[in-house]
Amino acid sequence: MLEKNNVYTVAQINRYVRDMLDRDFLLKNVYIKGEISNCKYHYTGHIYFSVKDETSVISAVMFSQDAGRLAFRMKDGMKAVFYGRVSVFERDGRYQLYVKQVFPDGEGILYKRFEELKNRLRESGMFDEIYKKPIPGYSRRIGVVTSETGAVIRDIFHVATTRNPYCRIVLYPAKVQGEGAAESICEGIRCLDDLGLDVIIIGRGGGSIEDLWAFNEESVARAIFDAKTPIISAVGHETDVTIADFAADQRASTPSQAAELAVFRYDRFTEDLRNYVFSLEQLMEQKLNRYKERSARYRLNLEVLSPGNQIQTKQQKLKACETDLNAVMNEKLSWSRERLLSVSERLSGLSPLKRLSEGYSYVTGEDGSVIYRTDQAKEGDLVTITVSDGSIGARVIRSDKHSA
């Protein structure tokens, strides 16, 4: 009879097998040698492929975080050593190799050394962006550390002189492969760095990791890092990556691209200059026009507010006031003259002298006081009678008071 305790789900079995494989010490850290087939780069960055030999095949996957550290591009037919772990993909019940690193067959030791050195130098901070020097935009003197007979210097010279016939190329003929190559490259970097050039290109053509190994030496990386001159690395083909690429201030996929990065286009430079001159002239003309308008306003204000103009204006006002004052004074004098004449005539009619000339006279006492009442003179008093042509002395013989 079937016992329920002995019945398992598919998921339980797959999980059980996965746990068994994950606990296996050998399968947790395994190196597998084989040939790549059915290699597919997914848009997520993962790489799906198979590893096969003459008789067997195993599915494999390399996730994006590990694939991003690959120093080359995997291709079908490539033989390599794959480091990783063997486990089960539970959903499909299929075991596969989860790859962490890939070393091309025969070069596995070099790739391992490459990864170890790259990680150590990265942890030391040598590759940090803060230490990267900017490539000058208008370099005129370019140093090149490479073989004097290879295609690299020809490509760089052709691109550089095509872009700018006035640039100067200084070559240090270095050994770029084999024994002593790293020392030759370091000496070339130090020599050109002492010349005070604008930028230095180091590079060589493509090849195997063994051919490019001189550019993976720590001494070369430190020579690049210590240089005062900005350095562009152009080693191998686009898919080749070296320690020098990480240490350099900028990496170029090819020597030709390195020349494009280092040398500015002279025709575009002159066109930019013409545009700058035109723009500068336009700005200067606009500014001069603004200054002219401002100067005209200042001149007008100065003329209006200047002391000379104000004096002239005030003189004109003063002259107008003088004219008005003379007119008013003449009018006032004429009026006053007429009034004086009228008053004079009135006063003349009231003048005592006129009265005297008409037969009137007035009497004063001995003390000179005017006698205008009878009680002011007594009989026997001496009085003076003033007439129109003189005075007459008299004595009072009587004083009669008129009745009301």
Q: What is the CATH number of the domain that holds 48?
A: 2.40.50.140
Q: Which alpha helices (H) appear in 168-217, and where do they start and end?
A: 181-193
User: How far apart (Å, rounded) are the C-alpha atoms in residues 283 and 111?
Assistant: 59
Do 136 and 188 share a domain, yes or no? Answer: yes
18: domain range? 4-106
Domain-terminating residue out of 210, 236, 264:
264
Contacts of 246 (CB under 8 A, 6+ apart): 118, 121, 122, 126, 127, 221
Supply the angle between the helices 218-226 and 108-123 in degrees, to the nearest 10.
30
Is 327 within the bounds of a domain?
A: no
Do 273 and 382 share a domain, yes or no? Answer: no
Domain of 222: which CATH number? 3.40.50.261
Please list the helix, strand and coil fractions of the chain in percent, rounded to the nearest 5, in that order.
45, 20, 30
Average pLDDT over residues 342-350: 70
Phi, psi of 95 (to 5 degrees): -85, 150
* pLDDT of res. 354: 66
Do 272 and 250 share a domain, yes or no? Answer: no
Give the amino acid at 163.
Answer: R
Confidence band for 352, pLDDT divided at 50, 70 and 90: low
Is 199 within the bounds of a domain?
A: yes
Do 283 and 236 share a domain, yes or no? Answer: no
Instruction: Reply yes or no on whether the pLDDT at 90 is more than 90.
Output: no
Instruction: Please list, residue by residue across 368-380, b when 16 or more beta carbons sit within 10 angstroms of its beta carbon and e when fewer do.
Output: eeebeeeeebeee
Return the sign of the alpha-carbon dihedral for residues 295, 297, 301, 303. positive
Do 172 and 241 share a domain, yes or no? Answer: yes
Nearest to 159 by CA among 229, 258, 63: 258
More confident: 48 or 285: 48
Lowest-confidence pick of 65-74, 178-187, 395-404: 395-404
* pLDDT of res. 189: 96
Is 203 within the bounds of a domain?
A: yes
Average pLDDT over residues 375-379: 82
Largest CA distance in the chain: 198
Give the amino acid at 170.
Answer: V
Average pLDDT over residues 85-98: 89
Is 347 within the bounds of a domain?
A: no
Average pLDDT over residues 304-317: 73
Do 99 and 143 share a domain, yes or no? Answer: no
CA R_g for the chain: 62
Q: Which pTM value belongs to this model?
A: 0.51
Average pLDDT over residues 62-74: 89
Is 348 within the bounds of a domain?
A: no
* pLDDT of res. 398: 83
Share of the chain above pLDDT 70, in %: 92
Do 143 and 241 share a domain, yes or no? Answer: yes
Kindly report, residue by residue over 109-144, the tens digit of the pLDDT.
677 788 889 999 999 999 999 999 999 999 999 999
* pLDDT of res. 322: 81
Is 332 within the bounds of a domain?
A: no
* pLDDT of res. 363: 83
Provide the mean pLDDT of the chain. Answer: 86
Return the sign of the alpha-carbon dihedral for residues 285, 291, 292, 294. positive
Do 276 and 260 share a domain, yes or no? Answer: no
Do 251 and 283 share a domain, yes or no? Answer: no
* pLDDT of res. 349: 63
Q: Which alpha helices (H) appear in 124-180, and where do they start and end?
A: 151-163
* pLDDT of res. 64: 92
Nearest to 145 by CA among 185, 199, 110: 185
Is 44 within the bounds of a domain?
A: yes
Domain-terminating residue out of 53, 74, 106:
106
Do 143 and 99 share a domain, yes or no? Answer: no
**How many domains, in total, are found in the chain?**
4
* pLDDT of res. 129: 92
Do 239 and 279 share a domain, yes or no? Answer: no
Is 9 within the bounds of a domain?
A: yes
Domain-terminating residue out of 214, 247, 264:
264
More confident: 366 or 182: 182
Share of the chain above pLDDT 90, in %: 38
Nearest to 243 by CA among 130, 160, 152, 124: 124
Do 134 and 235 share a domain, yes or no? Answer: yes
